[in-house]
């Protein structure tokens, strides 16, 4: 396929900001608009940009992890977050939180559901990567369409 210089450069410039935005959405999600699902979608959109610019090989070069590892890891993380309270004698999905005053960040409150939300995030990203891996390489995109 022919690579577009503008697209290539734009993708490289925007990609990291988009990923950071997605992480922001993930972490801020509990109190402001956002959350694991949206965060995951934004990260997936960033990956998509890479795909549009450089095809499946560029997407593969992003991480050595296989898509299903990310997907399964997310699912495992979410399940663990749901089940760990059981081991501690609480109900399934019981949440707890810690508050701390950190330098630079100020007053921070982190709840345990963030772990669960991270699982959701990973599942979404993994799913999109899987879709690309599955249908993204069947035929090289034709230039001009």
Partner 1 sequence: MTALIILHGIAGAAVLLGARVLGRWAWAVGVTPMLASLGFVAAHAGEVADGGSIDQRATWVGGLDLAIDLRFDGFGLLMLLVISGIGVAIMAYGASYFAPTAPSARVAGLLVVFSGSMVGLVLADDLLTLYVFWELTSITSWLLIGTDDTAARSRAGALHALMVTGAGGLVMLGGLVVLGQEAGTYSLSAILADPPTGGYVGVALGLVLVGIVTKSAQYPTHAWLPGAMVAPTPVSAYLHSATMVKAGIYLAARLAPAFAVVGLWRPAVTTIGLVTMIAGGLRALRQHDLKLLLAMGTISQLGFLLVLVGTGEEAATMAGCVLLLAHALFKAALFLVVGIIDHEAGTRDRRQLAGFGAGWGAVKAVTAVSAASMAGLPVLVGFVAKEGAYEAFVHEGSAGVAVLAGLIVGSVLTFAYSARFAMTVLAAPADPGTAPQSPTPLFVAPAAVLALLTVGGGLLVGVVVEGVVDAAVVALIPGAGHVHLSLWHGWSLALVLSFATWVAGAVLVARRAPLERLQANLAPRLGGDDAFVAALRGLNRTAAGVTRVVQSGSLPVYIGVILLTAVAVPGVALVLGGTWPGWPQFAETPLQVLLAALIVGAAVATTVVKRRFAAVVLLGAVGYGMGAVFIVQGAPDLALTQFAVETLSIVVFMLVLRNLPARFEPRTPAIATWMRLLVASIVAVGVFVLALVSSATRLPRSVSDEVVARSLPDGEGANVVNVVLVDFRGLDTLGEISVLAVAGVGVVALARSKRRPALDGLDATDEAAEIDEMATGHAAEDEDVAR
| Interface positions with partner 1 (CB under 8 A) | 25, 29-38, 41-42, 44-45, 48, 51-52, 68, 71-72, 74-75, 78-79, 82, 86, 91-93, 95, 97, 109, 111, 113, 116-117, 119-120, 123-124, 126-128, 130-136, 138-139, 141-142, 145
Whichever of 4 and 95 has its CB closer to partner 1, that residue is 95
Q: How far apart are CA 26 and CA 51, in angstroms?
A: 23
C-alpha count within 13 angstroms, C-beta hemisphere, residue 80: 10
In sequence order, the 6+-apart residues with CB closer than 8 A to the CB of 83 are 92
CB of 138 to partner 1, least distance (A): 7
Q: What is the separation of C-alpha 115 from the centre of its chain, rounded to a whole number of angstroms?
A: 13
CB of 123 to partner 1, least distance (A): 5
CB of 75 to partner 1, least distance (A): 5
Whether 108 and 102 have beta carbons less than 8 Å apart is answered as yes
């Amino acid at each position: 396929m022919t690579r577009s210089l503008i697209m290539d450069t734009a993708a490289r410039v925007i990609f990291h900001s988009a990923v950071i935005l997605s992480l922001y959405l993930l972490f801020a999600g509990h109190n402001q608009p956002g959350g694991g699902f949206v965060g995951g979608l934004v990260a997936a959109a960033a990956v998509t940009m890479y795909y549009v610019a450089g095809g499946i090989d560029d997407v593969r070069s992003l991480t050595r992890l296989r898509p299903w590892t990310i997907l399964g890891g997310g699912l495992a993380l979410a399940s663990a977050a749901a089940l760990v309270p059981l081991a501690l004698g609480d109900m399934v999905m019981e949440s707890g939180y810690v508050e701390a005053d950190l330098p630079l960040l100020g007053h921070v409150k982190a709840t345990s559901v963030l772990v669960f939300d991270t699982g959701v995030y990973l599942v979404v990203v993994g799913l999109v990567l899987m879709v690309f891996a599955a249908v993204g390489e069947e035929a090289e995109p034709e230039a001009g369409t």
